[in-house]
Structure 1
Amino acid sequence: MKVSVIGSGAWGTALSKVLQDKGHDVTMWGRDATHLERMRTQGLNDRYLAAAPLGPLWRLTPKLDQAVQGAQALVIAVPSHAFREVCQAIGSFSGWVISATKGVEHGSELTMTGILSETISGARPVALSGPTLAEEVLKGMPTAMVAAADQSHDASAVQEMFHLPHFRVYTSRDRLGVEYGGALKNVIALAAGVCAGLGLGYNSNAALVTRGMAEMRRIGIYLGGHVDTFSGLSGLGDLMVTCFSSLSRNRSFGERLGAGADLEALLRESVSVVEGYHAV
């Protein structure tokens, strides 16, 4: 299958590797032609994942129309604040459009599949979410995710698209619940980092994460998600990995903030987007 990954950051790179390992014909789009050329010549994503060689490389292009043309499925892995702009530029696409971005749009409060449903005519939206660290995925470490769509056959198609022995994909019809779990946990992870940076200990951190989970569930159900979803991979699972891993951008950002670093300086220094800050 011809699959195009829209976004050349850490997550787009990791998912491109999974898709290539599955045997798909993969093209990746990124805005920065210079960055893509370095990836091509060096065999690694030196901006976001310098410690993880990519192996045989898929096609790279800075031209969005080239990436979309001829593709049978699109995977969008750009920051949430750029999601609408990219979807509008795509305009129309007949096939699966998979959101691998976790967040809620500021102002409209739409989830990412809500945005693509508004902006890409012909799209069959699917949310792909769960407890994933890009560096571990790129290294082929065991990972599980969930593909969520309104129609079960769309979720099953994406499950098969990605499924590998080390990359297990489950399915759900609770698209909203899966997306809200992925967006809300970023806020809790940032707070968990602040707690650690302040040196408040494990007791307070455990209390914060546990009560944060309860709030995620209440908010998510109010917004249309199903209660069971928040105990699964895209809720509790994602919350755990994001709150406790040193590889988590949101936790690391919060930890430095709690230790006294200047907020504006941290935002300027961050190479990757800290979705938890924008979700607040």
Structure 2
Amino acid sequence: MNQTIKKTAVIGAGSWGTALAKLLADKGEQVLLWSHRAEHVDALRRDRENRKYLPGAALPGNLRAVNTFDDLSSCQCLVMVVPSHGYREVFRKLIPQLQDGTCLVSAVKGIEIATRQTMFQVMQEELARQNRTEAMHIGVLSGPSFADEVATGQPTAVTVAFSDNQVAQAVQHLFSTSSFRVYTSTDTIGLEISAAMKNVIAIAAGISDGLGYGLNTRAALITRGLAEITRLGTTLGADPLTFCGLGGMGDLVLTCTGSLSRNRTVGIKLGEGRTLQQALDEMTMVAEGVKTTQSCYDLAASVGVEMPILEQTYQILYEDKPCRDAVQDLVGRSLKKEA
């Protein structure tokens, strides 16, 4: 890639999008931060802070909040941080504004329900519909990275994946700071399956915590959850080593154990006896794992991969199965050799 990245647009002004935009702006980069709500943009401009989603994190003057796509043609890198259920619609609308050679980075951890596609695949399909596929560089950013900790400069490590290693290195250098270390990969599908499925396992781990089970149970869920993620990912063509890395084991451990995990929080509420709707009503931000449980369940069934933790989590969320019954069904399965 010969083009230097001089300006970046972050599409999605939730906590993670805001944290990534702030990271780049603090580094001195010119950044646009897009939100679909005009009143949210007005608040960002007025307060120089995202008080709803990332309170306390000051936004530098070189970060400009917008709610149109008019200025995207001046950006060499575009980071998509829109929830998976609205990703396709937003991306389709902004494609006409992009210049050839733009780096498109998905930082979303989910799978589209209707199509069972990853966000990388959604971008590929929408670019093909507008005959722009060959003109763009598509990649993924993922890893163990709570937005609040990135925003406060706590040491963090993530991975970016592009099929073209030169492009991956350009994005690596764009995001790297003294506290944000970025590794490169070419395994986009492995990173995306890890990113999506770790949220499902985190809900299961939260349910375990909410039921009052201890560290043994959580460790078993994390370990066997990683085995399920690896089975699904390798069936879809991923590199097995990806699941041992930051985007795999790293992000899984963080999301299943961290107090800032939205998906673990939903699981805790379920384990304590709340219904799914009650748990969601108490949340102010999106827990991607709820919708992802459905899309991953459908995806696993479509490719014939056995995923017992995913199946039980799906039954709790969408078939009202009692949490303790799901645990007993997991523990009581026929005995097997560990693989």
Counterpart residue number, 1:61: 66
Q: Does the Cα contact within 8 Å between 1:96 and 1:126 map onto a contact in 2?
A: yes
Match of 1:103 among 86, 106, 110: 110
* Corresponding residue number in structure 2 for 1:38: 43
**Preserved contact between residue 156 and residue 179 of structure 2 (Cα < 8 Å):** yes
Q: Following the alignment from structure 2 to structure 1, what is the Cα–Cα distance between the partners of residues 113 and 136? A: 22
1:9 aligns with 2:14: yes
Match of 2:189 among 176, 180, 184: 176
Name the structure 1 match of 2:75.
71
- Distance in 1 (CA, whole Å) between partners of 2:62 and 2:262 is 26
Question: Partner letter of residue 116 of structure 1?
Answer: M
For residue 141 of structure 1, the aligned residue among 154, 168, 172 is 154
Report the secondary structure of 1:186's partner residue: helix
Measure how far apart 1:270 and its partner are. 2.4
* Pairing 1:194-233 to 2, within 5 Å after superposition: 194-233=207-246
How far apart are residue 34 of structure 1 and its match? Answer: 1.0
Counterpart secondary structure, 1:52: strand
SS at match of 1:19: helix
Task: For structure 2, list consecutive stretches of 5 or more residues without a partner in the other structure.
Answer: 1-5, 294-339
State the alpha-carbon separation in 2 of the partners of residues 56 and 241 from structure 1.
32
Which amino acid in 2 is paired with 1:117?
A: Q
SS of residue matched to 1:214? helix
Matching of residues 114-125 of structure 1 within 5 Å: 114-120=121-127, 121=132, 122-125=135-138
Match of 2:256?
Answer: 243
- Alignment match, 2:167: 154
> What displacement does 1:156 show?
0.8
Alignment check: 8 A CA contact 1:2 1:71 kept:
yes
2:26–2:60 contact (8 Å) kept in structure 1: no
Number of matched residues? 279
Q: Is the 8 A contact 1:190 1:250 kept in 2?
A: yes
Moved more, 14-23 or 134-143: 14-23
Q: Which runs of 5+ in 1 are unaligned?
A: none
Q: Cα offset for 1:206?
A: 0.9
Q: Would you say the 8 A contact 2:112–2:118 is kept in 1? A: yes
Aligned counterparts of 1:271 and 1:113: Cα–Cα separation in 2: 27
Aligned pair partner of 1:253 in 266, 271, 276: 266
Among 68, 91, 116, which residue is 2:95 paired with? 91
- In structure 2, C-alpha distance between the alignment counterparts of 1:105 and 1:189, rounded to whole Å: 19
3-state DSSP of counterpart to 1:50: strand
Given that residues 145 and 251 in structure 2 are in contact (C-alpha distance below 8 angstroms), is that contact kept between their aligned partners in structure 1? Answer: yes
- Asked if the contact 2:203/2:264 (under 8 Å) is kept, the reply is yes
Q: TM-score, normalised by structure 1?
A: 0.96
SS at the partner of 2:121? Answer: helix
**Stretch deviating more after TM superposition (40-49 or 246-255):** 40-49
SS in 2 for 1:4: strand
Report % sequence identity: 44
C-alpha distance in structure 2 between counterparts of 1:247 and 1:76, whole Å = 22
Give how far 1:54 is off: 3.3
Report which of the two structures shows the higher radius of gyration computed on alpha carbons. Answer: 2
Higher relative contact order (CA 8 A, sep 6+): 1
Shift in Å, 1:24? 1.3
The residue that corresponds to 2:306 in the other structure is: none
Distance 1:80 1:97 in 2: 15
Matches of 2:84 and 2:221, distance apart in 1: 25
- CA offset digits 1:29-67 (Å, max 9, x no partner): 10111112112222221111124333546111111x224
1:126 equivalent in alignment to 2:130: no
